[in-house]
Amino acid sequence: MPNFESSFDVIVIGGGHAGTEAAVASARLGASVALITSALETIGQMSCNPAIGGVAKGTVVREVDALGGIMGRATDMAMLQFRMLNRSKGPAVWSPRAQCDRGLYRRAARHLIEEFPALQTIQGTVARLIMDKAGGTVLGAETLEGRRFGARCVVITAGTFLRGRIHIGTDLNLSGGRAGEAATTHLAEQLERAGLVVERFKTGTPPRIDGRSVDFSHLQLQESEIDQFDYSWSHFWPEPRLNAGVTRHPEQLPCWITYLEAPGKQIIADNIGRSAMYGGAISARGPRYCPSVEDKILRFPNAQRHQIFLEPEGHDTSELYVNGLSTSLPAEVQVEILHSVRGLENARMTRSGYAIEYDYYPPTQLDISLQVKSVHGLYFAGQINGTTGYEEAAGQGVVAGLNAGLAALGRPPIVLGRQTSYIGVLIDDLVTRGVDEPYRLFTSRSEFRLTVRQDNAIERLAPLALGLGIYSERENDVVEHRFAADKEIRSLAERTSIRPEQAARLLTESDSKCLTHSVKVAEVAKRQNVSLAALFAAVGVGEHLDPDALISTELEIKYAGYFERERTQADKLKRMGEFALPEDLDYANMASLTFEARHKLGALRPRSLAQVSRIPGVSPNDIQNLVIEVERRHRRTART
């Protein structure tokens, strides 16, 4: 056996958003964990935009939180501006997004992981994995300094650091995982030698500017919308009235909106050949839904202008993040572009934007638990799997960490279904369909976006967390109270009547027909634009009801018919998921399947019929024949 300095149940490599969640998830299970990262000061670092959440992503943050993760908690502790997106579309598709104080978030993340005694942080750059002689099982990790640590399972969350290369223009490129930090080369080379398929993606970041050099007089002000919104349920006491008046966020700060217009567009067009992306220095594909400003100019030539958000980096700095101006043009061109923007005529650039190329491993090489199929005990999470975004990384991190911890402790893995969470959608998409561009979550990727919402994450995922035993005693109490609050509010709405005179003003203001006789509150709450909270206020009840439970209950009442249809579909998908496929199925000799189906099933090795149904090129007829083949095999096995 190798000589180790220390041994752990789980080693997590990388201290970003995937790594911190993986480490905490394993520790919550009772596993001993080492989080190894190149710099302890950058644990939880927000490498790009200091914002958490958004469409679909905000739901993921609340799902991570329901599974004991730290992203929602750290965001609440660092939130300096909040917006609830999609307000005009109704609560069922509301999406929380928070701008964070970059320094506060990083410190909050480190503080939160250090609350777990079994989680040890270690500064060092991992140079290689320690494997058994056959190379099929991971045994630990070794750093560049020669420190060797043993582990039953290892989770790699290296972000953009694996052979990362930074580009600023066509002439300046240097090795780096992000600005000012070295890339990880040795580990990347080992993984490639191990036979894993490796490919390259690229991403980018905009310049930052000194806010003291900005003329705000002609810019559009965007104030925070915060009304004591919290991503995490776990800060509070079970009794809502005990939390009344408690300040839970830092002082809120505004953002500003300006635009890249014709002069700036012309500067970019004139210098497009000097862009690393368009000048030939980069060949890797970037995120289509977060394009560089060069992409915008070439893809949308008829657009008169492009919106730019100036977002504060924190309370302790005047630096602003220029959201919407991601670029790989030379630094001097970036300054020229900035000076063409209204309000930024005299702006001082504190940091230039850049593009970065990095290794990722097509995620079809993983099983549904995020374990590498060819290496027992090795898990991948985050951008290493071809995703983009802090939230997607965190969602993968919590699942990889839970499954690594469960495997180390000899317990079966967990699988989040598409019908239970956006995290389930994310992971199923990755391991079943793979990626051909950096993957980003959208509500449109989910078949169950009405029942899988940001407001009900705790109802959906707390039962799983309770079954795993990952909550503290106080968290158990809070969850128990939340479930009781849901039942109390529903019961109150169904047994309380509202008289016509009590409802008259509310219904008139909502453009809804007035009542002619007393009606149960639950019936009136089914009407559009009529809120359950307002109905309770009209009859003088429910003063101290849990606000999150109130929103969830209102939606369940208002959209009951839609939810019922979606849940019927979810039950069907669950049954397909329960139709397990043995790992050793001989797809190549299943003559009843098409050649394309045999090839794809043999390569992907799906674990259930539900996964099979989402593999491109596998027809409904193939699925029917596969069921027959599997049942025939079961009969043969039973006879022997």
pLDDT exceeds cutoff 80 at 576: no
More reliable by pLDDT, 162 or 608: 162
Please, what are the domains in the chain? 1-448 (3.50.50.60), 473-561 (1.10.10.1800), 579-639 (1.10.150.570)
Pairing mode of beta strands 378-380, 148-156: parallel
- Give the mean model confidence (pLDDT) for residues 33-45: 96
Task: Give the list of residues 6+ apart from residue 100 with CB closer than 8 angstroms, or none.
Answer: 46, 50, 51, 52, 75, 78, 79, 80
In degrees and rounded to multiples of 5, residue 216 shows phi and psi of -85, -5
Residue 243's pLDDT band, with cuts at 50, 70 and 90, is low
In degrees and rounded to multiples of 5, residue 379 shows phi and psi of -125, 145
| Stretch among 183-192, 316-325, 388-397, 582-591 having the lowest mean pLDDT | 582-591
Per the DSSP assignment, residues forming a β-bridge with 258 are: 308
**How far is Cα 164 from Cα 419, in angstroms, rounded to an integer?**
36
Pairing mode of beta strands 6-13, 148-156: parallel
The Cβ of residue 572 has, within 10 Å, a number of other Cβ atoms equal to 12
- Give the mean model confidence (pLDDT) for residues 250-273: 95
Q: Which ranges in 57-175 belong to alpha helices (H)?
A: 57-66, 71-78, 102-113
Residue 275's pLDDT band, with cuts at 50, 70 and 90, is very high
Write out 254-295 in H/E/C secondary structure: CEEEEEECHHHHHHHHHCHHHCCCCCCCCCCECCCCCCCHHH
Per the DSSP assignment, residues forming a β-bridge with 259 are: 307
Residue 228 near residue 76, CB atoms below 8 Å: no
pLDDT exceeds cutoff 70 at 245: no
- Give the mean model confidence (pLDDT) for residues 462-491: 94
- Give the mean model confidence (pLDDT) for residues 7-16: 98
Neighbour-count burial of 103, counting CB atoms closer than 10 A to its CB (0-12 exposed, 13-18 middle, 19+ buried): middle
**How far is Cα 492 from Cα 625, in angstroms, rounded to an integer?**
51
The Cβ of residue 567 has, within 10 Å, a number of other Cβ atoms equal to 15
| Stretch among 282-286, 291-295, 325-329, 599-603 having the lowest mean pLDDT | 282-286
Residue 233's pLDDT band, with cuts at 50, 70 and 90, is confident
Mean pLDDT of the chain: 91
What are the structure tokens assigned to 448, written together?
């169950």
Residue 239's pLDDT band, with cuts at 50, 70 and 90, is low
Place of tokens 């598409």: 418
Residue 240's pLDDT band, with cuts at 50, 70 and 90, is low
More reliable by pLDDT, 580 or 341: 341
- Give the mean model confidence (pLDDT) for residues 133-145: 94
The pLDDT tens digits of the residues spanning 410-446 come to 999 999 988 899 999 999 999 999 999 999 998 888 8
pLDDT for 604 equals 84
pLDDT exceeds cutoff 80 at 242: no
- Give the mean model confidence (pLDDT) for residues 191-218: 95
The pLDDT tens digits of the residues spanning 492-528 come to 999 999 999 999 999 999 899 999 999 999 999 999 8
Neighbour-count burial of 234, counting CB atoms closer than 10 A to its CB (0-12 exposed, 13-18 middle, 19+ buried): buried
Describe the crossing of helices 102-113 and 71-78 by its angle, rounded to 10 degrees.
Answer: 140
Which of 268, 275, 273 lies closest to 301 in space, CA to CA? 268
Between vectors from CA 28 to CA 24 and to CA 34, what angle results, nearest 5°? 50
pLDDT for 93 equals 78
pLDDT for 89 equals 78
Between vectors from CA 237 to CA 233 and to CA 241, what angle results, nearest 5°? 105
Residue 297, SS3? helix
Task: Give the list of residues 6+ apart from residue 570 with CB closer than 8 angstroms, or none.
Answer: 417, 419, 448, 451
Percent of the chain whose pLDDT exceeds 90: 70
Residue 290 near residue 440, CB atoms below 8 Å: yes
Residue 630, SS3? helix
